[in-house]
Amino acid sequence: MKTIILILLFTFTVSHSQTFEVEKLSGNVKILSGNSNTWQDLKTNTKINSNSIISTDKNSYVKIKGNDIIFTLKESSAISVANIKKMSLDELILALAMEDVMDTPMKKRNDKSDNTGVYGDKVTGKTLKTIKSNDFGLMRLNGAKQLAENGMKESAIVAAKEIFRKYPETKKDACNRIYFAYLLYNRGLYEEAYDEFNQIKSLRLSDEQKSYTENKLDEIGKKLIK
């Protein structure tokens, strides 16, 4: 089953990969491409492939354009270019199944496997420290939210799942967890949303967050028993 999921996901990724071009930017915008081991300044008219990640500092932004997508990454954010794509609900379900496989504990798991596929085979110690930091995980969650704001909710969910897996500390952020759990609910994935809200329930929540989470669990629970 795992092999089948991997083959299907690989086919989907290849068919959806595209090149973007920087249309406009302001401030300090960086790129880490698959053939580089250090962050580089991003410039207008630069071609960006899916095997790259871009990040923005405070008071910075970058607007990129692909075949059928125009996306602006706002300040204090980061995103894997491979996540900037439109997905169907079936493709989302497949990607979530793959994330479940990736999230399964493996013996002697090598941390390198989490990075070489996106950031290249060799990265400097400074770069690796940056891309694995919790702050960078939060920047990537900002980028994932912006996918949803631009109509790519399915891609936003997949990106968030990946981020929560690679940056475990971000899973303690109740506000972000609730945001993406609601996206699952919004897309009609009630079992997945219920599981997520059930995990959120154990986090340190404000009274408002606790009430919202309990209400959503009750609401989704009723949908599941119909």
pLDDT tens figures, 33-78: 977 889 999 999 999 999 999 999 999 999 999 988 999 999 999 9
CA 51 → CA 19, 24, 178, 198, 205, distances in Å?
10, 20, 29, 34, 36
Residue at 29 is within a domain: yes
Between 95 and 117, the more confident residue is 95
Residue at 181 is within a domain: no
Between 14 and 39, the more confident residue is 39
Using only C-alpha atoms, what is the Rg of the chain? 18
CA–CA separation, 145 and 3 (whole Å): 30
pLDDT of residue 36: 81
Mean pLDDT value of segment 81-100: 94
Q: pLDDT class for 122, splitting at 50, 70, 90?
A: low
* % of the chain residues with pLDDT over 70: 84
Residue at 152 is within a domain: yes
Residue 40, strand partner residues: 31
Query: Is 1 a residue whose pLDDT tops 50?
Result: no
Residue at 145 is within a domain: yes
Residue at 226 is within a domain: no
Range of the domain at 101: 2-172
Q: Largest Cα–Cα distance of the chain, in whole Å?
A: 54
Count of domains for the chain: 1
Instruction: Extract the tokens encoding 82.
Output: 């491979």
pTM (2 decimals)?
Answer: 0.85
CA–CA separation, 142 and 99 (whole Å): 20
pLDDT of residue 34: 78
CA 111 → CA 55, 82, 92, 99, 126, distances in Å?
22, 20, 25, 16, 16
Query: Is 15 a residue whose pLDDT tops 80?
Result: no
Residue at 198 is within a domain: no
Residue at 205 is within a domain: no
Residue at 155 is within a domain: yes
